[in-house]
Amino acid sequence: MGERIVKEALARQPHAGPASPPQADGVAERIPCPDHQAQPMPLRLLSAPERALWHLDRACCLNGVQVAHVRGPLQPEHLEEGLARVQDRHPPWRVHIEDQGAELRFVDGPRRPVPLRVVPRTEATAWLAHAEQELNAAFQPEDHPLFRVTLVAGAQESEIIVSHHHVVADALSIVYRLAELLEHASARLTGRPSPLPLASLPLRPALGNLLRGRGPRRLLDMGSYLMRQAGARLRGARKLRYDAWAEPQARRTRLLHAVLEAPQAAALRARCHQEGTTVHGLLAAALLGALCADPGTPAVLGCFSTVSLRGALREPVGTETGLFVSQATTYHALSAEGELWELARQVRRRLQQALGWGEPHMTFPWLGLLLPHGANPGPRLVRRLDLRVPAAVGITNAGQLPIPTHYGPLELTGLHLALGAGTVVPLLLGATGLGGRLLLNLLHVEPLLGRERALGVQRRLLALLRAAAGPGPVPVALADQLCDPPEA
């Protein structure tokens, strides 16, 4: 079983607690699905927006990366078995993409396992370097499947890092699969049969074909969407000032991680309710407020929000793996005299307006319309996005994750998300809630936005959030005074 695990300088460490029980009949048995084991099976063509994502990634890495922190005796073999079962069930974990000239097509088979790399957990933050490595290690056209997993293995504390090409999955898809992997590992540790089903699901149609309603209004909606984008530019919406320019292939996404513990996160949620806004509105406002003191901030700042479309599809997709997200952008005139809670309410109102206009139904199809013709369109598409998308920052907020934290002898102590962000914005905030805590990843793209500048934004962001947990108004001008001094 272990021949598929690539071990890097990992001496087998004794795991505390009881050893894995003897294998019961059927516990590790896996019945392969014969229809996708050996021969290639052509599936559907990629839609225009999916082709755009594929070519964008060829120009600048857009990998999704999720990091799960696990306490307990997690075994690499059990993770490998669980990955095989996930592949049996979910086609996006098996497929690769064939370039057929003018067309790109999903192809299932011949079956290849998800690469599993095991590295030692030399310190509590060892996962960070591996996560950044995965954020910037682009999947190549010949790669198959379009997923990789790294296990940062310790005796009682480990991290599972899942990286994937963005064309096959969104972040919530990976959250559900990580829960399944822990369910399988728990069953193996306690001598129970795996609870993961084996019957394969179908590969879903492209997102544009799954969206509900709007019908003949789609063309009018698209026209209105483009007019709003043009209007934002006329009002002064611009990108952040870049520290240094780099071609897309030379950009690198870096990650700054922070955690708000449960008492502070609970205080923020309660205050959001009192102030008539949402945690998402507050997080976006804090990011915008943290940029007020940045010398590269334009007068009007656009912030895109990732929007889940799982509830707006013609076919229910439940917890399946796929790309079921889009975006909506809000624009805000910033002032150092502004107040955080008013800005948070403004974000909420304007995001609700954008959702009412059907903007998430437009954003993804528009990406396909921007795709240039000819060979190697990715770099030209990046330049078009730089010119035509006035959004300067982004936030992807998965909210309170809808999965358990306990799996028998294993505990999920944290789960957070990251995304290669070099093509649209140089600064992106990823947020998740788990076990009452709020986990925040600030992603910045070097050399467009350097490390020191990003650290300053993070310090002001966290200072505003700490102040928001207390009573009274929160002037954004206080961010610099409130923030902790930089580390030496």
Reported as a pLDDT band with limits 50, 70 and 90, residue 78 is very high
**Do 228 and 353 meet the contact criterion of CB atoms below 8 Å apart?**
no
- Beta-carbon neighbour count of residue 220 at 10 Å? 11
Reported as a pLDDT band with limits 50, 70 and 90, residue 402 is very high
**Residue range 320-343: mean pLDDT, rounded:** 92
Q: Break the chain into its structural domains and give their ranges.
A: 43-189, 216-482
For residues 9 and 387, what is the distance between their CA atoms, to the nearest angstrom?
A: 46
**Do 359 and 309 meet the contact criterion of CB atoms below 8 Å apart?**
no
For residues 367 and 166, what is the distance between their CA atoms, to the nearest angstrom?
A: 14
For residues 281 and 305, what is the distance between their CA atoms, to the nearest angstrom?
A: 10
And the tokens for 251? 């950009």
In this predicted structure, what is the pLDDT of residue 336? Answer: 79
For residues 433 and 292, what is the distance between their CA atoms, to the nearest angstrom?
A: 26
| DSSP bridge pairs for 149 | 116, 162
**Do 428 and 394 meet the contact criterion of CB atoms below 8 Å apart?**
yes
Reported as a pLDDT band with limits 50, 70 and 90, residue 10 is very low
- Residue 203 has phi, psi (to 5 degrees) of -75, 125
In this predicted structure, what is the pLDDT of residue 217? Answer: 65
CATH superfamily of 216-482: Nonribosomal peptide synthetase, condensation domain (3.30.559.30)
For residues 71 and 185, what is the distance between their CA atoms, to the nearest angstrom?
A: 12
**Residue range 399-416: mean pLDDT, rounded:** 97
| 127-148 pLDDT tens trace | 999 999 999 999 998 899 999 9
Alpha-carbon 406 to chain mean position: 23
Reported as a pLDDT band with limits 50, 70 and 90, residue 86 is very high
Among 93-97, 341-345, 367-371, 393-397, the minimum mean pLDDT is found in 367-371
For residues 473 and 259, what is the distance between their CA atoms, to the nearest angstrom?
A: 23
297-to-72, 300, 377 alpha-carbon distances in Å: 45, 8, 30
Higher pLDDT, 219 or 432: 432
Looking at 190-259, list the stretches that DSSP marks H as alpha helix, in order from N- to C-terminal side: 207-210, 218-234
Architecture of the domain delimited by 43-189: 2-Layer Sandwich (3.30)
Residue 69 has pLDDT above 60, yes or no: yes
Is the torsion defined by CA of 438, 352, 337, 333 positive or negative? positive
Alpha-carbon 303 to chain mean position: 16
Higher pLDDT, 121 or 248: 121
What share of the chain has pLDDT > 90, as a percent? 64
For residues 367 and 362, what is the distance between their CA atoms, to the nearest angstrom?
A: 9
Q: What amino acid is encoded at 346 in this protein?
A: Q
90-to-108, 325, 328 alpha-carbon distances in Å: 11, 18, 28
Domain 43-189 and domain 216-482, same fold? Reply is: yes
| 343-353 pLDDT tens trace | 999 999 999 99
Question: Angle at Cα 484 formed by Cα 483 and Cα 488, nearest 5°?
Answer: 140
In this predicted structure, what is the pLDDT of residue 11? Answer: 35
Rounded to two decimals, the pTM is: 0.90
**Do 328 and 363 meet the contact criterion of CB atoms below 8 Å apart?**
yes
